[in-house]
Amino acid sequence: MIPIILSGGSGSRLWPLSRESYPKQFLPLVSEYSMLRETLERLQGLDGLAQPIVVCNEEHRFLVAEQLREMQLVPQAIVLEPEGRNTAPAVAIGALAALEQDEDALLLVLPADHVIEHVSAFHASLAVASAAARAGELVTFGIVLTAPETGYGYIKANEHYDKSQPCRSLAVEHFVEKPDLATATSYLSSGDYFWNSGMFMFKASAYLAELAQHAPAMLGKCRDAYSAAIRDMDFVRLGEDAFMSIQADSIDYAVMEKTARAVVVPLDAGWNDIGSWSALSAVSAQDEQANVVSGDVLIEDSHHCYVRSESRLVAAIGVRDHVIVETADAVLVASRDRAQDVKRIVERLKLEERSERLHHRRVFRPWGSYESIDEGERFLVKRIIVNPGASLSLQMHAHRAEHWVVVTGTARVTRGDEIVELHEDQSTYIPVGTKHRLENPTKVPLEIIEVQTGGYLGEDDIVRFDDIYGR
């Protein structure tokens, strides 16, 4: 069984913590580990499990690679999408990659941002799904209902589900869009409906055969994009022209709602897709007033709130049913019953071309990270962390000079034709137009303060001459 991990979402409903350049699947939201790592960790102990194939946005490739490295996990491939095209193309390309390893490959398709509390129950459902999938069925996992939820799609089985009976696969009658509250309440009482989890299991060949029947143009372009792919270490860079011509569509719309081979396996394992702040609150530890607090928070006479601080003290008094989330550059205050509408704020940020939808103040790069500390007319101050053994590109700026001060660690600096080593409290100056490179030759992080000066300080003022990361 080959896990296909879908890690391409942006998690906009969890703004301002989740941003396009660092979305929710890479964040430690419910434990000390990221959602991506939690997804992979819960597969441990399964028999016959192959190394995973991760499908992600090209911008996130080093975030994925670093988290897999921390797990000492070598993937079959990290497939890079130039731009998101929803789940149907992502899984098709994952299937094509899997077939190169095994012509009878069985795929377990998992989004990288779900919570499953009861791993043993999850494994038991996988065993039931495996038998159906090996027989040629396309399996979706249906979450056993616990509430009349209006934020999820639903699956109707062709027979009543009895919790007292052993778990088995049920034929799918049809899929249902997100209902209103009255309809969701009727689904809960009927016993015939499940939440649509977005998790699947099927043979790679079976999925591609159904895609060929129901969306042949999509499959053809997926094959073109994969055939034109460039392999770079674990990365598979898809052919951009072919991939960008693919029509975006979900597995549900493209295949599952049309196939005659769809079955649902009930899953009762404490599942949550963490699609909003209220959903995250539901799986987090609460105090006696049903509040969830995280970070440097003081709360008084408040009830049913989610309050999170990332960089400073947050205090709340006399607040009820609110979400308050603070980051270094943005604060969200929302009524809990409007938590799904956070996406509307992100859409406004996009229309206004504001950077807060894209980046945190701390921006991660393959070599480490940088954080803007202060800025004004003709200057910008950054705190830069370079990972052990990492190196920035050999580069030049046309409009700015840079002053570097080493705070901790050792820096190897290329400046024009000279190479020097700098230690704590030492500094250097990079004039405008000078080729330069910053490296960390040691086994401990390097921290420097960079002061940029000049008439233009944008991130696009950079010419790269050599870059080990292929940028």
Query: Which is nearest to 78 in space by CA: 236, 231, 233?
Result: 236
Distance CA(467)–CA(62), nearest Å, equals 14
Q: What is the pLDDT of residues 362-417, one digit of tens each?
A: 888 889 999 998 999 999 999 999 999 999 999 999 999 999 999 999 999 999 99
CB-CB neighbours of 59 under 10 Å: 16
What is the predicted pLDDT for the residue at 216?
96
Q: Domains, the chain, ranges and CATH?
A: 2-272 (3.90.550.10), 287-345 (no CATH), 362-466 (2.60.120.10)
CB 137 within 8 A of CB 128: no
Counting every residue written for the chain, the total comes to 471
Q: What is the pLDDT of residues 88-109, one digit of tens each?
A: 999 999 999 999 989 999 999 9
Distance CA(259)–CA(255), nearest Å, equals 6
Distance CA(352)–CA(337), nearest Å, equals 26
What is the predicted pLDDT for the residue at 471?
67
332 Cβ contact partners less than 8 Å away, ≥ 6 residues apart: 15, 16, 277, 323, 324, 325, 326, 342, 345
For residue 402, the cross-strand partners are 430, 452
Helices (H), 276-383: 277-282, 342-351
Low-confidence ranges of the chain (pLDDT < 70): 471
What is the predicted pLDDT for the residue at 430?
96
What is the predicted pLDDT for the residue at 163?
79
Distance CA(96)–CA(102), nearest Å, equals 10
Distance CA(267)–CA(258), nearest Å, equals 23
| pTM of the model as a whole | 0.87
